[in-house]
């Protein structure tokens, strides 16, 4: 039997408190007028819904940015919406606590890693924090969601905020790998400057609905080993996708 789900609910005032703790290098993103206005609007909406009794996830919407300045990002993986079930969303795209049942998309992600690295044991946990600690930005394009209501906070302002974050990372002079899975993530390629030197890899979303379908099935895409080969060519350490060691 799985242990009790951790409390991943957002509390009133938590968004402002988290913003105040983020690395200073993100400040210029949030200070830009269109982003500041969108952030004010979506924060007001979230606080209003909390006051009305809605259950909102995750407890830490900006966790993907914690302790990770734009210059420290080496790989970007984009999700769309936080998980909307109790005890799931952690503020990192695709990640859930180790005690949770593994969601289907994450299961396919780990299946692909196991296929690409057959010499290593398969990933055992569900928490992708070790990836974030190695410079993998696991960013959802909408940062909050209501319990049982997928995409409930889409088009409330989060997309303006996260587009600006993606563009800020892409402007950094240090090339990065962008793993864009599915049409929603692939649309963000327009935010990447041309001739930037970034590695851009695209495939279908890892969801069971699309992971095996053309034009580029996620299963068999080879993105994790290709990213590591590219990082090594750049003179950087590869990502430990399995053990999570720095």
pLDDT average, residue stretch 79-90: 95
pLDDT at 4: 54
> Distance between CA 164 and CA 101 in Å, rounded?
33
The rounded percent of the chain whose pLDDT value lies above 70 is 97
pLDDT average, residue stretch 109-134: 94
- For the CA atoms of 196, 141, 13, 103, the dihedral, rounded to the nearest 10 degrees, stands at -120
Residue 3, pLDDT above cutoff 70: no
Half-sphere exposure of 152 (CA within 13 A, CB side): 18
Residue 244, pLDDT above cutoff 60: no
Q: What DSSP line would sit under the chain, residue for residue?
A: -PPPPP-----TTHHHHHHHHS-GGGHHHHHSHHHHHHHHHHHHHHHHHHHTT--EE-S-TTGGGTT--GGG--EEEEESS---STTT--SSTT---TTSPPPHHHHHHHHHHHHH-TTSPPP-----HHHHHTTEEEEESS--EETTBTTTTTTSSHHHHHHHHHHHHHHSSS--EEEEESHHHHGGGGGSPTT---EEEEE--SSTTTTT-SSS-STT--HHHHHHHHHHHTT-PPP-TTT---
pLDDT at 99: 86
Q: For the segment 212-241, what is each residue's pLDDT rounded down to a tens digit?
A: 999 999 999 999 999 999 999 999 999 999
pLDDT at 180: 97
pLDDT average, residue stretch 140-163: 97
pTM above 0.75, yes or no: yes
Residue 89, pLDDT above cutoff 70: yes
Q: For the segment 169-180, what is each residue's pLDDT rounded down to a tens digit?
A: 999 999 999 999
pLDDT at 160: 98
pLDDT average, residue stretch 38-43: 98
pLDDT at 17: 96
Query: Which residues are annotated as catalytic?
Result: 81
Structure tokens at 101: 């049942």
């Amino acid at each position: 039997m799985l242990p009790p789900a951790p409390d991943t609910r957002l509390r009133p005032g938590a968004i402002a408190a988290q913003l105040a703790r983020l690395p200073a290098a993100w400040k210029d993103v949030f200070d830009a007028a269109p982003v500041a206005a969108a952030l004010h609007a979506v924060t007001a909406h979230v606080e209003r819904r909390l006051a009305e009794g809605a259950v909102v996830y995750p407890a830490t919407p900006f966790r993907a940015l914690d302790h990770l300045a734009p210059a420290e990002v080496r790989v970007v993986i984009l999700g769309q919406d936080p998980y909307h079930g109790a005890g799931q969303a952690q503020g990192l795209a695709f990640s859930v606590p180790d005690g949770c049942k593994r969601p289907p998309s994450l299961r396919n992600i780990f299946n692909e890693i196991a296929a690409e690295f057959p010499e290593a044991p398969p990933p055992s946990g569900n928490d992708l924090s070790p990836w974030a600690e190695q410079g993998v930005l696991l960013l959802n394009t909408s940062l909050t969601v209501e319990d049982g209501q997928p995409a409930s906070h889409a088009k409330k302002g989060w997309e303006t905020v996260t587009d600006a974050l993606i563009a800020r990372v892409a402007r950094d002079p240090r090339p990065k790998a962008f793993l864009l899975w599915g049409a929603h993530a692939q649309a963000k390629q327009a935010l990447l400057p041309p001739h930037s030197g970034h590695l851009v890899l695209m495939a279908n979303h890892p969801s069971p609905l699309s992971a095996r379908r053309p034009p580029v099935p996620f299963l068999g895409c080879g993105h994790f080993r290709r990213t590591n080969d590219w990082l090594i060519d750049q003179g950087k350490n590869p990502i430990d996708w399995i053990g999570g060691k720095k």
